[in-house]
Structure formats: structure tokens, C-alpha cells
Amino acid sequence: MEATTREARLAALPKLNEINREITAYQRADTRRAVWQLVNTLVPYAVLWYLMYRSLTISYALTLGLAVLAAGFLIRVFIFFHDCGHNSFFPSTRLNRTVGFWLGILVFTPGEQWWHSHAIHHATSGNLDKRGVGDVTTLTLEEFYEKAWLEKLGYRFFRNPLVMFILGPIFMFLIMHRLPLPRYGKRQTRSVWLTNLGVVALAAGLIALVGWKAYVMIQLPVIWLAGTGGIWLFYIQHQFEDVYWERAEHWNYVASALLGASYYKLPKVLEWFTGSIGYHHIHHLSPRIPNYYLAECQRQSPILQRWARVVTIPESLRAVRLKVYNEALRRMEGFPKAETTSVGEKQVGEAASTNLT
């Protein structure tokens, strides 16, 4: 019955040209709105940074409280950086690249390298045969069974919420984004080195003003909190129980956006701090729609209102239990309670895997 319902839902999906008739009007950048977003985000972020510095002489608890708010603004900065990579923040490609580079320094992320891997993510999201670049590493249940015990242990470690959301931000933003890996092209490698130089120069300037100890006590919690929030958002955008995954020969672009990317419904204040990235189904349908038009696009489109896969905050919190994709049942599940070592025995594990852990 579930398979029949899923196939019927896939068959009923609107065609891309039908969707485009409702969303094309929003595929335009507005310099005035982009500049205003930079002002209403970067200025408060700078003020908060200064207040955190002054609060160090009062109470570090106060500093950390301000860090939570500053991290919210930094997440918003990352969304602008992200839009620049899609060439959607400003009408000018050159301006997107230039502003995006400087925003990348603030969020400790090399633009050209991250934008490249993110473009691959957009082209392959929901495609089981093209995983591995710009996405959250996800194994199928069968693949999990076929792994050696050490590989299973490594995957379990990676998918542990404490590792992904607590250690992950430090590893990603302070270590991985600093390394020009051999697989990067010249443009991506240059981006890493130039961003590293910018990060060091900005840090050196701030240390000269406030001292190295104050810099670390302020910047470290801010980048960690913002990184945690960013990784959480990226996770829940494509990690929910009935998320769309399909093999390449049957993969469908519209399905990957409407059924494989969530509409993470957040309170308005959180929607503002997250740059409306919760409307992720729209973003995957058309990355050329800037963040400042996503909410309006959702409100004005009957198709999107009907097809958006809404994920609420309570549902998103339950999603941390999801670990592997069960191709037979076409859903994300927790780790099986009874692990087997061969594919031939996987039926036992599939039955047990319905108990999410």
C-alpha cells in the first residue's frame, strides 16, 4: 500500500514548466534589498561583537548570552554568502563573487570551493548513485550491512548527534575549510588559500585591538554556535523519514525538490535569522530565487502550498534518530537493533530497523 501511494504521489507531481509559471517572477535579484540585508545584519553583528568584548569585564556568562544572538546573525550572513554562490543575491555576477568572498571570511568558508561542492549537491540531491559531495553522508541499509565492523563503527560515530552537531562545527569550519585537498581544482584551491589569508588578517587585526585571549573567548563560541545551527539546518533539509531518494535511472528533479527537500516551518524570528532557508523545497526548484523572495514565493504559489513537505520543529528533533535509508521500504530509519554481517541476512535487520535508535 505504501509503495502504491508513493507511486501515485510521484505520478501526480506537477511538471517543471507548470511550477515555473508560478515562480519565474521571483528569479530576480534586487540590489537595494541585498544591500539592506547586509546593513541590517552586518551592523548588528559588529555591535554585538563589540558588546561581547566589553562584557568580558562584567561576566563571561553575559558574553556567552550575547554569543547566541551574534551566532544568529552569523547564520544569516552565511545565507547571504550561500546566495552569492548561486549568483542570486545581487544582479551582478562580479558583485556576487566579490561580496561572497568577503562574507566567506566572516563565516570561515572558502567561497569558490564551497560553492562548487554545493552546486554538485543541487545537481545530485536525492540521487542514490551520486552521493558524496556537498551532502550529509547517508548509507542505505544494505550498504550498512555490507560494511566491515570498523566502517560501521565509523559511520555510527559520524551519525551520532554529539559528533555531528557538537564536534562537527569545529572540525568543519576551523579545520576542513582551511585545507586545500588534492581533489580541488586550481580555482577552489586558490579560494581556500585566499580565504585563509583573509581569516588570519581579520583575526590579527582584532587581536591587535582586543588581545588574543579576548578574541578567542568571543569568536570561538560564536563560530561554534553558528556552525551548529548551520549544520542542523542543512541536516533537516534532507533528513526526514519519507525523504525522496532514488536510483539514477529513475531520479526526478522535481521530485528531489518537492519530496526530497523540506519546508522547515519556523517562527518568524527564526525564519529571519536563517534567511528563509527553511523554504528549501523552493530553493532546490530554483536556486536563482534569492532568500528575500522565498517566503513570498511560497505564499503566492498554489502548487508549492500543496506540495511542500512541511517539517515542524518537533518532527525535526525526532529526525536525529534517522541513520540509514531503507530502499525496500523507501524511508529513513534508525540503526537496526540486530546487526548482521551479510546481505543475505539483512531481512532480520530490516525488521528490527523499524525500532529507531
The model's pTM: 0.92
CB-CB contact of 292 with 35 (8 Å): no
CB-CB contact of 218 with 67 (8 Å): yes
CA triple 275-214-217, angle to 5 deg: 55
Cα distance between residue 30 and residue 220, in whole Å: 33
Burial 229-267 (b: 16+ CB within 10 A, else e): bbbbbbbbbbbbeebbbbeeeebbbbbbbbbbbbbbbbe
pLDDT (tens place) for every residue of the chain, 357 residues total: 455 677 788 888 999 999 999 999 999 999 999 999 999 999 999 999 999 999 999 999 999 999 999 999 999 999 999 999 999 999 999 999 999 999 999 999 999 999 999 999 999 999 999 998 889 999 999 999 999 999 999 999 999 999 999 999 999 999 999 999 999 999 999 999 999 999 999 999 999 999 999 999 999 999 999 999 999 999 999 999 999 999 999 999 999 999 999 999 999 999 999 999 999 999 999 999 999 999 999 999 999 999 999 999 999 999 999 999 999 999 999 999 866 544 444 444 444 444 444
Straight-line distance from the first to the last Cα atom of the chain, in angstroms, rounded to the nearest whole number: 25
How many alpha carbons lie under 13 Å from residue 224 in its C-beta half-sphere? 12
